[in-house]
Structure formats: C-alpha cells, structure tokens
Chain A
Amino acid sequence: MDPIQTLVKNLADKHGRSRESVLPILQGVVEQEKFLSERSMIEIAREIDIPAADVYGTATFYSFLETKPAGKFIIRVCKTITCAMKGKNQVLFAIQEMLKINLGETTPDKQFTLLETNCLGWCHKAPAMLINDEIYTELTPEKVREILTSHMKANANH
C-alpha cells in the first residue's frame, strides 16, 4: 500500500466506513496532505464504497477542504466587513509583498499559501487571519511581518 492508501485506510479505521465518516476522513487527509488530490478522493470513495463523484461533490462544497495543492502554512485573511474596515487590505499587501505571491498562490518553496476567507468570528479584534488553525488578531502590516518571520524561522530550524 502506498502512503495515501494507508492514510485513508487508517482514517477509515478510526472514523468508520459509513457515509457519516466522509467529512472526518476528508479533514484527516487535508490535515496530513494539505489538500485533497484526485487520488485521495478516489481512495476514500473505494474505502467507503460510494461514488467518487460524491466524494468530490462533498469535498468541493467546503472552503477548508482544499482540492488544489497548498503550502505547509495556509494563511486565510478575513475579508468580511469589519476586517475590511479596519485595514485588511494593508495587511494583505504586506503579506503579498513579503512572500512575493498573489492571493490564491503558493510560494515556490511550498511553505505558504495565501487565501481570503469570510468572517472568522473575531470582528471585535479586526483585522484577523488564520494560519492553519491558529488565529491572529488586531493585525497591522508590522505585526504580520513579524508573524511570518517567526514562521519562516521555525521552519528553517526543522
């Protein structure tokens, strides 16, 4: 068995093989692989015994289930109203400038992917962003640069 097969099988062992396990399994693959490849979705379909189209249809419905390759750190900047009012654009520019990528892109070293997202539930501390599951609030361009630098450093040390 190749790594994807093993991963899907382990997740199915853990969450079960009924339709209700689809989301937890998809989430588990994304956690490990950062995105859902065609291969992994077909594997899930086989493991649970439902059409691959159903797996794909479900996966693409959810914005946190990436179906395109993504970096190790997925940055999601909130673009909803309060964050927009409180300087989300400046924050976004600072990130783009520092990582030299545009929205929707991944850095060539596959470390960072930059996305926008809808309200993160931190409007009283806007602007906000998520890096993977970690939340960062009351952002300014300076603060963002610090945060990214520390991620890069932590990474270099690995």
Chain B
Amino acid sequence: MANSHQLKRVDFIFRNENDWEKVLSTTIKKKPQELINALISSELKGRGGAGFPTGLKWKLTAESKEKQKYVICNADEGEPGTFKDREILSRVPYKVLTAMAICGYITGANKGYIYLRGEYKFLLPELNKVIDEFSYYCKEINLDFNIEIFMGSGAYICGEETALMESMEGKRGEPRNKPPFPTQAGYMGKPTVINNVETLVHSFTIFKYGAKKFYDLGVQYSRGTKLFSVSGDTPKPGIYELELGMSLQDFVYEFGDGDTKAVQVGGASGFLVPRKKFKDAAIGFKGKLTGISLPTGGSMMLFNSSRSMFNVLDNYLEFFREESCGQCTPCRVGCQQLLLGIKAVKRGEKPASYLDKLLRLTETMQYTAKCGLGQSVANSFSSIVANFREEMIY
C-alpha cells in the first residue's frame, strides 16, 4: 500500500565518489549491449518529468547506423519550484560528465553538449574547469569524447528537448513535431540522446553499483531514488534525495509546517493536491500505485492556509502565458484566455459557471496543443479549480 510506505532518505546522488576515473575506465571495457541491458533492467526512467525509460532511449540511439551522433545533457531547468540540477552540477559535475561519456561510448557518439540555462551562467567557469580535466583523462584512456557547454538565454520552453535542439541550431526555441524522435533525428538531424542532469547521475550510480542496487529502491514501476526540490511554506526548504513511491501524507508530515493545505507536485505544470487527498497520493511515475500517482520532475511546493489559491493559479498562468512559445494557437491564445478568465470571475464580471467553460478550454488545450507546455496547463488549472473553487470566486 502506498500510504504505508515510509519516507526514506537516500544518499547516492551527492555521495562524493572520487573514483570517477575508475568507473569510466572499467565501464567502457564492457560491451555496450551488456551496459544497455543493465540500464534497462534497472528500470531507470528519465528524471526530467516525462519519465521515458532511459535504457530504451540509449538502445534506440545505439541501434542507428548513422555515423555522427550526439549526447546532450539537458540542464535547462526552468520548472518553477525546481532547483536540483543546479545543485548536481555544482556539487558532483564529474558524475554527469562520466555518464555522458559512457553514453557516448555505448551509442557511438563522440560529441556531448551540456545545454545550461542562462540563469545558471555563474556555474560556467567552474564547469569548464571540470570539463578540461575530464577531457584530459578521456584522452589518456583513448576515449574519443568531447564535451562542450551551450548557453541558453532565458526561455523556459527550451527545456523541451526538441525546442532545446532548435535553440542549439541557432533558431527560436520552438518545439518540433514528433516523430521523428531525437533518437532518430535530433540535433542537426542526427541521432541524439538527450537526458536530464539527474538522469545521467542515476546512470552513473547504476554503472558503478550495478542495476540491482538501483532497482531495489522504490516501488513497482517507480524504481530508484529521486531528488526533490522542496519550497514554499516549509521549515525545511531544500533538496532531498528520497526513495520513490512515498505517500504525500508522509511527505507533508516530514516537510510541512503543521498547517499545509495543499502541495503542488511537479511544478507549475504539475498537480495540486489538497489536504484531504494526501493519504491517497503517492509520488512516483504514472502507473499502478494505489490511489493517485503523481509523476514529478521533483518540484514540491507547499502551501499553508494563509495562501490564496487564486493567487497561486494566477501566478502559474502568468508564467505560462509568458513562456508559451506562441507557435500553436491552443496554447498561445489558451494561456491568455485562462488568465483573463479567472480574473474576470474573481472581479465578478463573469458568473462562477464560467470556470467550467475555462475547464473545457484546458481540455481542448490538453488534446490540441503541440507540446508538453500547452498540454500540461490543464494539470494545475483543473486541480486547483476543482479543489479550491470557492477561492477562485470570492
């Protein structure tokens, strides 16, 4: 039962491992197929939010016959309430680089990029130093793998993998149509593995300690650990590595301030869970957890009873309206209309039933918007409106 699962702190990600050289040199002595199998059997899923099986992604890229391939580390962390990737890049960057190089070895890519968000530019000097040291070692062991940093310039949508590639190609960061997927045609039209920073670090753990170690943590369909960025009304804001599958109840018990009325799981594009549902909600990937299961990029925002959920929704919508790339109408117009709509209801210019119209609009966006941004606006909108309808009106 999900709600009897205790909160378990783990220390893999930030554990200081000063043997990355050894991990790298011994791992690349194994057969690519063997390593892919390990990754698959660990059941590691992407930690950026979407949760695609990492082993499968690498396998698909490895199978492509193209000569030129790329590995991209997505460090364009922009989901409101998320700050884990920055912490990884400043505390254990060599783990990220090692994982990228191993991925290059497995898939046949000799070029890696870290797409770093503009807001984190201050990390650049330190990161470049680590990369230099790393390349030096790669040369020593005759591994042909080269890593470069590509700086973003302040656009949330560039965290979407195809938008990120457009941006790297010197264009507006507008999401592409899928298929083709990046594993077939990614950066510069070439097969590309693109992984979130945290995902790469987990693969480091798997290569070092074996798939079983990882698999044994977590629950069915949600294996391993996850970094959670905890913020809002909490006495303990910060970053925590926890086993997947915990109940929200346990989470709030540990991190709440005694007066938690709701938790936003997964950032502005995630879901709001009100107090009465804490018991039934488990944190893990969509799947067979009991009750509600909440996939998450790791952002956990707590709100206590002093907060107006109208203000929260208003702030989220403002965010989406600004960050929508504007390429498709449901999202571009939808975000604006939702924002205008809730304000009109609040001011009494529209009746409360107008909220239902807006809910239908979010449904339309969910089905017709081109990428995750427009599709996921419905998550926070409907979960906030459904659970705090009064606060939207009065």
Binding site for B on A (CB under 8 A): 18-24, 26-27, 54, 57-58, 61-65, 79-82, 84-85, 117-126, 130, 133-135
Contact = CB atoms under 8 A, between A and B. Distances in A.
A65 B80 contact: no
Contacts of A81: 80-81, 232, 268, 301, 312, 315-316, 319
B323 A118 contact: yes
A20 B168 contact: yes
B319 A80 contact: yes
A80 B81 CA distance: 9
A85 B188 CA distance: 42
Contacts of B86: 121
A24 B116 CA distance: 12
A85 B170 contact: no
Given A118-B78, A118-B80, A134 B153 contact: no
Interface in B223-247: 229-233, 237-239
Contacts of A117: 119, 154
B218 to A, nearest CB: 24
Contacts of B171: 19, 22, 54, 58
Nearest to B316: A81
Residue with the greatest number of chain A CB neighbours at <10 A, chosen from B118, B268, B312, B316 = B118
A18 to B, nearest CB: 8
Contacts of B117: 121
Contacts of B167: 23
Contact of A58 (B121, B150, B172): B172
A85 B154 contact: no
B82 interface: yes
A85 B232 contact: yes
B263 to A, nearest CB: 13
Contact of A134 (B122, B172, B319): B122
B170 A23 contact: yes
A57 B171 CA distance: 8
A63 B319 CA distance: 13
B106 to A, nearest CB: 25
A118 B233 contact: no
B161 interface: no
B114 interface: no
Contacts of A22: 170-171
The 6 nearest A-B residue pairs measured at CB: A22-B170, A64-B154, A124-B237, A62-B153, A63-B154, A123-B231
Contacts of A27: 151, 153
A120 to B, nearest CB: 5
B169 interface: yes
A82 B154 contact: no
A124 B238 contact: yes
Residue with the greatest number of chain B CB neighbours at <10 A, chosen from A21, A120, A123, A125 = A123
